[in-house]
Amino acid sequence: MVRSVMRMAAGTALAALLAGCSMGSMFGGSDDASYANINASQTQVAQAASGAMPAIATECPPIRIREGAEFYRTYAGNRTSDPTALRYQGVLDRVSRNCVVSNGVITVQMGAVGRVIVGPSGGDGNITMPLRFAVQRDGLAVFSQRYDVAVAASSSSANEFSQTVENVAIPYVGGEQITIFVGFDN
């Protein structure tokens, strides 16, 4: 009984499949000769490409932690050569960016996550981490802004901080080297 039902279902499915092959242009095919062998001319391709953004603009510029600005330290009594005088040390753990490209402008949202380590001369309290976000195009700054990030430092818990910068608009013509930098503003 089960075998005969399965055979009937398989036969019906096969018949429907074969019938579909002979339906001609019922579901979108066309026998109209005006649609045969349509190809765009070189002029049409050039016109369509002229309004498109350069391929590199569809990618977000790289984001890097600026060399020499990876950490930030404060010392008691300005004793920078004495490790026991270290009050706080800030480090950057992660940086990220997200971009939208439209009409010759790259709009960037960028962020950084870091942590504060309490040193031997430090203690619990509120401190400020000076972060700088900058964007360079062909070696010249097109955006640079310092952000004072408040952190509640505690010697007994994780002291994470984050800063996000939104809607930084960077004009983009094509072929430029654009880099985003993040670091402590020493």
State the CATH class of domain 55-184: mainly beta
The pLDDT score that the predictor gives to residue 85 is: 96
Task: Please check the confidence at residue 20 and state whether its pLDDT lies above 90.
Answer: no
pLDDT at 6 over 70: no
Per-domain residue ranges of the chain: 55-184
Q: Which residue has the tokens 């950084």?
A: 112
Task: Count the Cβ atoms, other than its own, within 10 Å of residue 105.
Answer: 13
pTM of the shown model: 0.66
> Which ranges in the chain belong to alpha helices (H)?
2-21, 42-50
Cα atoms in the 13 Å half-sphere on the side-chain side of 86:
14
pLDDT tens-digit series, residues 98-127: 999 888 899 999 999 999 999 999 999 999
Q: What type of residue sits at position 24?
A: G
Residues 6+ apart with CB under 8 A from 4: none
Residue 165 in contact with residue 111, Cβ under 8 Å? yes
Sign of CA dihedral 112, 118, 121, 126: positive
Q: Is the dihedral of CA 93, 171, 174, 39 positive or negative?
A: positive
CB 40 within 8 A of CB 49: no
Residue 25: its pLDDT value, please?
40
Say whether pLDDT at 48 is over 70: no
